[in-house]
Amino acid sequence: MDYQNEFKQRKPSPQEMMDLAEKARKLAYAPYSKYQVGAALLTKSGKIYLGCNVENASYGLTVCGERVAVFKAISEGETEFEALAIATPSRRGNGPCGSCRQVLREFCNDLTIYVRKEGDKILSFQLTDLLPKSFGPQNLDGSE
Ligand code: ZN
3-state secondary structure of 59: coil
- Find the 95 Cα to ligand 1 centroid distance in Å: 9
Query: Of how many residues is the chain composed?
Result: 144
**If you ran DSSP here, which 8-state letter would residue 11 be given?**
P
pLDDT value for 126:
98
Q: How far is the CA of 39 from the centre of ligand 1 (A)?
A: 10
Which amino acid is present at 74? I
Residues in the chain predicted with pLDDT less than 70, given as ranges, are 1-2, 144
* DSSP secondary structure letter of residue 133: T
Residue pLDDT, tens place only, 30-69: 999 999 999 999 999 999 999 999 999 999 999 999 999 9
Query: What does the alpha-carbon distance between residue 15 and residue 58 come to, in Å, rounded to a whole number?
Result: 35
> Which residues are tagged catalytic?
66
| Distance in angstroms (rounded) separating the CA atoms of residues 14 and 24 | 15
For residue 20, give the CATH number of its domain: 3.40.140.10
Measured in angstroms, how far is the CA atom of residue 2 from the centroid of ligand 1?
A: 27
User: How high is the pLDDT of residue 26?
Assistant: 98
Cα 100 to ligand 1 centre (Å): 4
Domain tally, the chain = 1
Whole-number pLDDT of residue 6: 79
Structural domain range at position 51? 3-141
CA atoms within 13 A on the CB side of 85: 25
